Structure 1
Amino acid sequence: MTSRVWVKFFLTTLLVGGITTGIVGFIVRWNEFDHLFANFEWLEILSVLFWLFGVGLIFSIISQMGFFAYLTVHRFGLGIFKSLWNGVQIILVLFVLFDLVYFRYKAFAEPGEGVIPYFGLVAVILIAGLLVAALKVKTTNKGAFIPALFFMVVVTTIEWVPVLRVNEESWIWLMVFPLLICNAYQLLILPKYNQESAIQRQRLAAKKSST
């Protein structure tokens, strides 16, 4: 990817994170902000929106760090495990999904509380991962399904860990949706930017050859 295209990729992902967090923030924390709309306190609403947008930029940067880290890990995995890498990724996906239920239940469950409510987060992550992986297959090839699912489940969960450890429900949902959307955006849009980079390189090569 050329530097110009990378900057474009970086900035558009930032906007995705900021806008998504601004929307999701008002939805998941509506009970904190509903009085602002009831009283038409537009300056307060704009200040909250600006704050949420800034938080979304941070979430986007975390997402991008995770994405480029995964690209490196994926190359290492292919080099080390070769044809077994897909199997390793499936095992890791199952392990992370199990941990999202088991360890959160062990750490935060109240006495007598059932385990069923702790499957909610797992369902969100898994459904999002399956949908994005299916879309990735349509835009590329069948071999992209498992890596895409791995990225959406395992990498998103790793990026999400700081909030999961605090276990504040509003922050859990506030962070997970922007992360999922930013991760999905990067995964699905990357081929377009790679193609744009290839076109730019061809143009530069043509200019050099002509001179």
Structure 2
Amino acid sequence: MKAKNLVFLFFTTLLIGAFSGVLTGLVLDWSTYWGDLKQGDIVSFLMVILWLFGVSSIFSLISQMGFFAYLTIHRFGLGIFKSVKLWNGVQIILIIFALFDLVYLRYTGFAEPDESWLNYFWIALLLLIIGLAVAYKKQKETNKQAFIPTLFFIVVVTILEWIPALRGNDFKWLWLIFFPLLTSNIWQILVLHRLAGRKA
């Protein structure tokens, strides 16, 4: 990949992640920010926007580090297992474990007495559905071998990057971190083959 394409990928990912975080933050606490605007406190509103942009940019950068780490791991995996099918099988197992842990560990760590585990299941289901949709699009634009690696990246790598928020279990922080990570990851995986100039 050319240097200018790497620069393009870096800045577009940064901006996409940052703006998605700003939108998420505004939606999660809109009543407060709308109150500032109605009172004419535009400076406070702009400061909040700037803060959300900065925080979201941090997680966009984490997403980029995770992306290039995964590209390296993917190559190692192909080299170690000497077979795309075998490496894909390993990735499927890891996807299942990651989704199971996302539900089980959060349930055992945060569930109230008599609270159903289903309250913790829907987040994993949402991530899986998004991952399947992105993997399908990637496959359509490249080749069928891209489906499992894309699903692995969207599900497993996003969960790993999301761990700081998952440990805290604060509703606002869960989503304020999740959306910048997810949008950044989706953008990177879907634009990679276009920038690389090949179907891979």
Measured against the shorter chain, the TM-score band is over 0.9
| Counterpart residue identity of residue 177, structure 1 | F
Aligned partners of 1:13 and 1:186 also within 8 Å: yes
Segments of 5+ residues of structure 2 without an aligned counterpart are none
- 1:164 to 2:166 alignment: yes
**Cross-structure match for 1:22:** 22
CA deviation digits over 1:87-108, x for unaligned, max 9? 0000000000000110100011
For residues 71 and 5 of structure 1, the distance between their equivalents in structure 2, rounded to whole angstroms, comes to 16
CA shift, 1:123, in A, is 1.7
**Cross-structure match for 1:173:** 175
- 1:43 to 2:50 alignment: no
Segments of 5+ residues of structure 1 without an aligned counterpart are 197-211
CA deviation digits over 1:16-71, x for unaligned, max 9? 11111111111123344332233342221111111111111101100000000000
| TM score, norm. by length of structure 1 | 0.89
CA RMSD of aligned residues (A): 1.4
For residues 79 and 8 of structure 2, the distance between their equivalents in structure 1, rounded to whole angstroms, comes to 30
Runs of 4+ in structure 1 deviating by more than 4 angstroms, as ranges, are none
Larger radius of gyration: 1
**Cross-structure match for 1:53:** 53
Structure 2 vs 1, CA of residues 37 and 127 (structure 1 numbering), >3 Å: closer, same or farther? Answer: farther
**Cross-structure match for 2:70:** 70
For residues 47 and 132 of structure 2, the distance between their equivalents in structure 1, rounded to whole angstroms, comes to 36
- 1:188 to 2:190 alignment: yes
Aligned partners of 1:22 and 1:56 also within 8 Å: yes
For residues 32 and 173 of structure 1, the distance between their equivalents in structure 2, rounded to whole angstroms, comes to 17
Aligned partners of 2:56 and 2:176 also within 8 Å: no
**Cross-structure match for 1:10:** 10
| Counterpart residue identity of residue 50, structure 2 | F
Kindly, what percent of the aligned residue pairs are identical?
54
For residues 151 and 184 of structure 1, the distance between their equivalents in structure 2, rounded to whole angstroms, comes to 9
For residues 136 and 99 of structure 1, the distance between their equivalents in structure 2, rounded to whole angstroms, comes to 26
For residues 126 and 157 of structure 2, the distance between their equivalents in structure 1, rounded to whole angstroms, comes to 14
| Counterpart residue identity of residue 99, structure 1 | D
For residues 15 and 88 of structure 2, the distance between their equivalents in structure 1, rounded to whole angstroms, comes to 32
Aligned partners of 2:17 and 2:179 also within 8 Å: no
| TM score, norm. by length of structure 2 | 0.93
- 1:144 to 2:161 alignment: no
- 1:117 to 2:119 alignment: yes
**Cross-structure match for 1:107:** 109
For residues 144 and 188 of structure 1, the distance between their equivalents in structure 2, rounded to whole angstroms, comes to 11
| Counterpart residue identity of residue 143, structure 1 | Q
